[in-house]
Structure 1
Amino acid sequence: MLYEKQHQQQVMRIDQKKGIERKGSATEKEILEIVDMSGMSLESLPNPSINMRFICKLDLSKNNLQNIPESLTARLLSLAVLDVHSNQLKSLPNSIGCLSKLKILNASGNQLQHLPRTIENCRSLEELNVNFNKLTQLPETIGFELINLKKLSVNSNKLVFLPLSTSHLTNLRILDARLNCLRSLPEDLENLINLEVLDVSQNFQYLANLPYSIGLLLSLIEIDASYNKITTLPESIGCLKKLQKLSVEGNPLVSPPAHIMEQGLHVVKEYLCEKINGMHTNSPKKNSWLGKLARCGTFNGANIPREDGDGYIMPNYRSIDSLASPRYAGMFSPRRLFSPRSYFAR
């Protein structure tokens, strides 16, 4: 785990199954504590016999817990790792927002139907794992505040969409959203400049396309979009120089055609690049890259004419709560300087 690798410091381990192990020196003013109550068939939590504010890791996994008391979470002021996977939790406490030092949260294998909105206050969070739950949506503004998040695992839920604010997770390296009901991905993904692995596989009959902006994720090493309903890959994928793995089996692909896909990733990327430049007879050459991006929603500004003759795009403005965040103003990509619609309308 990221936290444990970075914090090889003296700790006191309190394990109710194995006794107490102490490590530390007498010169330390404070000894952080690891509390392990995993696999004890607990249905409720006992009162710890230690000062809660010195707990740095709390493992409550593999029990039968149906809730976590608000008062308990609010007192875990030094907590960096919270593991509650494989319980019967239907919700997380709102007081989880008090955990300003939390780096890793594992709540997989529960019955969560939603995440508390206060989770966006956990701004030190680096890993969030809520796999194998019953989530139908994520907090709308989660991406505006969790700016340190490096791994987001939401697989095996019932998500229909990822919030638009997901595109602001600029430190994100792994996004695992497989085995959901995703209809689409946010159009403006280009701010995910550190994203290396994107897994949106096995959304089956729901996911029919990938956004054109996926070609601006220049750190991407792996894309897994297998077993969906995708018929056409965006040509912009041809621009991904670091891409080493592209999995799209189980899709009714028409473009690129099967004989291109069979020749491997290098040939696929060449084919897509040629399509961008209009070098295929079945793909008429476009007037400009800007025109291509405009049709794909990459430029949404009101001053860009539409090719269908309907005039200019007039954005409809709608206020959202994320505007109250002091962080949102510094998160404009160059494209968004032209595109207020990305913030005010869906």
Structure 2
Amino acid sequence: MSLDALPSPSLNLALICKLNLSNNNLQEIPESLTARLLNVVVLDVHSNQLRSLPNSIGCLSKLKLLNVSGNLIEFLPKTIENCRALEELNANFNKLTVLPDTIGFELINLKKLSVNSNKLVVLPRSTSYLTALRVLDARLNCLRALPEDLENLVNLETLNVSQNFQYLETLPYSIGLLLNLVELDVSYNKIKALPDSIGCLKKLMKISVEGNPLVSPPPEVVEQGEYAVKEYLCEKMNSAHQSPPKKKSSWVGKLVKYGTFGARRKEREEREGFIMHEQYRAIAGLATPRHVSMFSPKRLFSPRRYS
């Protein structure tokens, strides 16, 4: 309707369950209006000119779907964490540079988080606490890294972090612990090596890696498709775990080698061209088992006198 501002409605706003204000020219939503939408379940304000959301949005305790895509929003209010019934948040095509640091600690029912086509540099660490999350779409941003402990996203089925272009260079090992992951899109980034752990993802049906300078797996493997990529990574991981550990040298062996406790010290000295001066031989002999007991704390501090 090309609305620049909202009229003052005569009806009781507490009766509204779904409010669609999309495709207008709204630059703000009044705090007083949002605070009265106590029973709203769906709020759609996409394709407006909004630069921010009112703090009173935290009053929407029954809100399940929030669509603020296609606006000019630079940040989400921290109070959005109070919308604990929220199941879907669509903030695509905005100017977001950050998300609230603790967003993942409170939105425990969130199933879909769409923040593509923004200017996000990182996803907050709390994102990994969104245990109900099934879809995470963060493509077309400026992401430089993903949270390390992604394994907490036990229900995640779709992860899209494609087209972060020159920014995203690595993926965390924990990405291979997303046991319910079905679709993974990391295309058009600067990733050189995929984590070997991806080979463990039995439910993974689609993996997109084109547009990366991949070395592991090599291009010839990538060309063979998803199955070949998973098999390559799985074999690489298994071979790494099966390689025998390096045998550690024993310090006792070194003592024996250098004759500390051996009776053939003189032969070794002559063989290596090392001759110990006679005045030090007696001192060296004190280190033999025969004399060690003379220097034990029990003997030194005993009231008995030794001649």
* Interval of TM-score (by shorter of Structure 1 and Structure 2): 0.7 to 0.9
Deviation at 1:190, TM superposition (A): 0.4
| Residue matched to 1:99 | 60
Kept after mapping to 2: 8 A contact 1:60/1:83: yes
How has the CA–CA distance of structure 1 residues 238 and 60 changed in structure 2, closer, same or farther, with 3 Å as cutoff?
same
SS state at 1:167 partner: helix
SS state at 1:92 partner: coil
| Residue matched to 1:52 | 13
| Residue matched to 1:110 | 71
Match status 1:150 vs 2:111: yes
| Residue matched to 1:191 | 152
Letter paired with 1:261? V
* Alignment equivalent of 1:258, drawn from 219, 222, 229: 219
Deviation at 1:284, TM superposition (A): 9.1
Q: Map 1:146-295; keep pairs closer than 5 Å.
A: 146-278=107-239, 285=243, 287=245
Task: Say which is worse superposed, 259-268 or 121-130, in terms of deviation.
Answer: 259-268
Deviation at 1:286, TM superposition (A): 7.4
Kept after mapping to 2: 8 A contact 1:278/1:286: no
| Residue matched to 2:26 | 65
Kept after mapping to 2: 8 A contact 1:190/1:217: yes
Gaps of 5+ in 2: 246-307
Deviation at 1:258, TM superposition (A): 1.2
Kept after mapping to 2: 8 A contact 1:58/1:83: yes
SS state at 1:278 partner: helix
Deviations 1:25-72 (A, max 9, x none): xxxxxxxxxxxxxxx111110011211101000100000100000010
Gaps of 5+ in 1: 1-39, 288-346
Letter paired with 2:28? N
Deviation at 1:285, TM superposition (A): 3.4
Kept after mapping to 2: 8 A contact 1:215/1:239: yes
Kept after mapping to 2: 8 A contact 1:175/1:197: yes
SS state at 1:277 partner: helix
| Residue matched to 2:260 | none
Deviations 1:257-311 (A, max 9, x none): 11111222222111111111226xxx99375xxxxxxxxxxxxxxxxxxxxxxxx
Distance 1:265 1:68 in 2: 46
Question: TM-score, length-normalised on structure 1?
Answer: 0.70
Letter paired with 1:47? S
Distance 1:274 1:96 in 2: 50
How has the CA–CA distance of structure 1 residues 51 and 224 changed in structure 2, closer, same or farther, with 3 Å as cutoff?
same
Q: Over alpha carbons, which structure has the higher Rg?
A: 2
Deviation at 1:196, TM superposition (A): 0.4
| Residue matched to 2:299 | none
Deviations 1:83-113 (A, max 9, x none): 0000000000000000000000000000000
Match status 1:124 vs 2:124: no
| Residue matched to 2:305 | none
Distance 1:284 1:201 in 2: 33
SS state at 1:96 partner: helix
SS state at 1:190 partner: helix
Kept after mapping to 2: 8 A contact 1:129/1:154: yes
Task: Say which is worse superposed, 262-271 or 83-92, in terms of deviation.
Answer: 262-271
Question: TM-score, length-normalised on structure 2?
Answer: 0.78
Distance 1:128 1:150 in 2: 9
Letter paired with 1:52? L
SS state at 1:266 partner: helix
Match status 1:140 vs 2:98: no
Distance 1:286 1:87 in 2: 62
Distance 2:231 2:26 in 1: 53
SS state at 2:150 partner: coil
SS state at 1:131 partner: coil
| Structure ranking higher in helix proportion | 2
Deviation at 1:179, TM superposition (A): 0.2
Letter paired with 2:147? P
